[in-house]
Amino acid sequence: MSTTLFGKIRQRGHARSKAPAPLSRRRNRAALLFLLPGALLFSAYVIYPIISSIVLSFYQWDGMTPRVFVGLDNYRELLQSDTFYTALKNNLIWLLLFLAAPPAGLALALYLNQSMRGMRLVKSLFFAPFVLPGVVVGLVFGWFYDPTYGLLKLIVGHGIPVLGDPRYVTYGIIVAALWPQIPFCMILYLTGLTAINSEIIEAGRMEGARGFQLLWHVILPQLRPATFMAVVLTVIGALRSFDLISVMSGGGPFDSSTVLAYFMYDQAIKYYREGYSAAIAVVLFLIMLIFITWQLRRLFRNES
C-alpha cells in the first residue's frame, strides 16, 4: 500500500508543475469541503482564542470598558506576586506527585492482569473512579477529610483539617485527584500487557528471567507506548487540575492551594482582571508548550 501511495504523491507532484488536472482539483475541493466545518469551528473556538489571549496579556481590561495597552506590565506584576509563586510551586508539586500515577497504575495492572471468571468486572470496578465527574470526586474526598465527621478522623482518631491547613491542603487534593488518574494509567497498561507477544515472555522465562528482572528487561521495554501515553496524559492532567481545587478548597486557605489554572480563573471571574489573567494563562501555555512540542515531534517522526 505504501508504494502505491508514494507513487500517487509523485504523480501529483508532477501534475502540479504543469496545470492541475481537473480530477485532482475536484478531489482537493472535496477534501476542503470535508475539512471546512470542523476546521472553522476549531479555529473560532481554539486557535483564535489562543492568539487573542496572548494579545490580551499585554492589555489591561475589565471585560467592559475599552482595553488599554500596558506592554509587559501584567507580566511584571505577576513576577512580583506571591500568589504567582505559590501557584507555580503548587503546580510543580502536582506535577511531581501526579507522576506517581503511571507506576501505581502499572502495579495495579500487573495485579489485575489475570484471566479468571469475573475478572473483567473487577477491572471495570477498579476503573470506575475515572468516569466520575471531578466535582463528585471532590465532594466525596471533602467529606472524607471533614475534621468533625470525616472518615479520616475515624481512622486516625482525631480530626485533621486537611483542607483547612495550608500545609496539607494541596497534598489532600492531589490524593483525591490520583484516585481517578491511577485507574486511567492502569487501563493503558492492561491494554499494553495484552498486546505483548507471549512468545517473547516465554523466551525470557526460558532464559531464566524471573519476576522483577523479567519485568525490567522484557516487559517494560514492550510497554513503552503505554508508558509514553500515561506520562503525557498525566502531565497534562496535572497542569489542567482545576475542578478538584475549585470544589475542595477554592484555592484557599489564603491562596495556599491555588495553581496557575485556578489563579487565572479567580482573577478573571472574581476580580475582572482579564489582561492579568490572560498573562497567567500564557505562562501556563508556555509550560505546556514543552509537552506539546514533544508530542508534535513524535507525530512528525511517525509520519515521515
Pick out residues in 228-257 that bind other proteins (CB under 8 A). 229, 236, 239-240, 242-243, 246-247
Site stretch for other proteins (CB under 8 A), options 69-77, 78-86, 99-107, 188-196:
188-196
| Closest by Cα among 192, 186, 185 to 224 | 192
Closer to other proteins at the Cβ: 18 or 167? Answer: 18
ω into 253 cis (within 30 of 0): yes
Q: How crowded is residue 79: how many other Cβ atoms within 10 Å of its Cβ?
A: 11
State yes or no: residue 203 binds other proteins (CB under 8 A). Answer: no
Out of 3, 17, 65, 302, the residue judged to bind other proteins by CB under 8 A: 302
Site stretch for other proteins (CB under 8 A), options 6-14, 67-75, 82-90, 166-174:
6-14
User: For residues 77 and 276, is the Cβ–Cβ distance under 8 A?
Assistant: yes
Question: How near is the Cβ of 297 to other proteins at its closest, in Å?
Answer: 10
Closer to other proteins at the Cβ: 76 or 210? Answer: 210
Radius of gyration for the chain, computed over Cα atoms and rounded to the nearest angstrom: 25
3-class DSSP state of 250 = coil
User: For residues 276 and 75, is the Cβ–Cβ distance under 8 A?
Assistant: no
- Total residues at interface with other proteins (CB under 8 A): 110
Q: What stretch of H or E contains 304?
A: none
Question: How near is the Cβ of 154 to other proteins at its closest, in Å?
Answer: 6
Out of 140, 161, 164, 253, the residue judged to bind other proteins by CB under 8 A: 140
Contact positions with other proteins (CB under 8 A) in 258-297:
260-261, 264-265, 268-269, 274, 277-278, 280-282, 284-285, 288, 291-292, 295-296
Out of 143, 216, 254, 271, the residue judged to bind other proteins by CB under 8 A: 143
Out of 7, 14, 47, 76, the residue judged to bind other proteins by CB under 8 A: 47
How many residues comprise the chain? 304
Q: What stretch of H or E contains 256?
A: none
Q: Bridge partners of 69?
A: 59
Contact positions with other proteins (CB under 8 A) in 52-111:
52-53, 56, 63, 110-111
User: For residues 74 and 275, is the Cβ–Cβ distance under 8 A?
Assistant: yes
**Cβ burial, residue 230 (10 Å; 0-12/13-18/19+):** buried
